[in-house]
Amino acid sequence: MSMRALRLTNQLGVAYLAVFTVVSALGGALVATTWIRAGLVAVLGTILWCLALVAAVLVTYPAKPPRTVLLSVAWVLSGLLMFASVMGFYTAVLEARGNRVEATVTQVRDSSEKGRHLYYALADPDGTRIPGELGSWPGAEIGASDNPEGEVGARVTVIRDPEGLVDPRLPDDVNGLAAVFVWVVVFTLTAVACMFAGRQPTDTPVVRRPRRT
């Protein structure tokens, strides 16, 4: 291992990374389930994200974190890591045991979130309600002003979890390779930020000049 790699590897940086990874993974797995209503996902995710920073600061207690700015950068990246964990969790579940079905919209709900966002309750071909809600409609693009919207009675192809652990998703949203790639990239960026944040500041040598007599 090179001297540069040795300088970047430190116990505090590893501790930061462990805290952010565990909280992001557990939080991502929790908010990706049907147990958490869509309107509460942002609230719960924000609370867990803030708790991750508190836990990271407590790692150095009673001393202060040596590099607070870099620690803040790592914390911001850990929020993206939580979103990547959400994507990875529901993708893994649906790819492992999901069923593709032609579902029918039984109810349309406009969320209380900022901006307009519709959620669709679905029923399978037998008329049985599919647990969870569909949060997007085919052809919709993030940021578009003329997104297509479904209505009661409309039919849509989704991948559903027979056990009802995660929400149904559009087939295009279930991509294992994309989920792994996103998680690895965000995790790598978070790890690098944590390693730098955990480095102890180098002492600046003090040059003493002789006094004039």
Q: Is the pLDDT of residue 92 over 90?
A: yes
Tokens 């709900």 sit on residue: 109
Q: Measuring CA to CA, how many Å separate 184 from each of 51, 88, 123?
A: 23, 10, 35
At residue 85, the pLDDT reads 94
Q: What pLDDT band is residue 140 in, cutting at 50, 70 and 90?
A: low
Q: Which residues contact 203 (CB under 8 A, 6 or more apart)?
A: none
Q: Is 127 within 8 Å of 73 (Cβ atoms)?
A: no
Q: What pLDDT band is residue 143 in, cutting at 50, 70 and 90?
A: very low
Model pLDDT for residues 8-50, shown as the tens digit of each residue: 458 899 999 999 999 999 998 888 899 887 667 778 888 999 9
Tokens 């790699």 sit on residue: 5
| Beta strand pairing call for 118-123 and 99-110 | antiparallel
Q: Is the pLDDT of residue 2 over 70?
A: no
pTM over 0.85: no
What is the rounded (10 degree) CA torsion for 77, 173, 170, 45? -10
Which H helix or E strand runs over 119? strand 118-123
The alpha carbon of 178 is separated from its chain's Cα centroid by a whole number of angstroms, namely 14
